[in-house]
Amino acid sequence: MRFFHLLNFQHFILYVFPTLAFMLVFGVGLAYSHFKTADSEKRMDEIYGNYPENIQDRNAPFPLVMTLIIVGTLLWGFFYILGNGLLGVII
């Protein structure tokens, strides 16, 4: 049991607000940013297939945020493995 109950609340706030901020930035990033090419507008508007319940298939550009997250995850994994291997840390 902790001596100061306020510390639990501070940790809770430190976990919740960065998570909410990340979710907001991630949602905006997925909605509004992608690599713009000459045919981006055509790809966003052209419908390739219609499915039941009015679901439409498009060949839209890949979001920039997803590209950065995938590259960041791969780099973190590579350097994590490299760091553990060079430093001899037991996992």
Q: What are phi and psi of 49, to 5 degrees?
A: -155, 150
Q: What would the two tokens of residue 65 be? A: 């945020």
Q: What is the band of 2 on the pLDDT scale with cuts at 50, 70, 90?
A: low
Q: What is the band of 74 on the pLDDT scale with cuts at 50, 70, 90?
A: very high
Predicted pLDDT at 90: 65
| CA atoms of 38 and 49, how far apart (whole Å) | 22
| CA atoms of 81 and 89, how far apart (whole Å) | 10
Predicted pLDDT at 91: 58
Predicted pLDDT at 43: 77
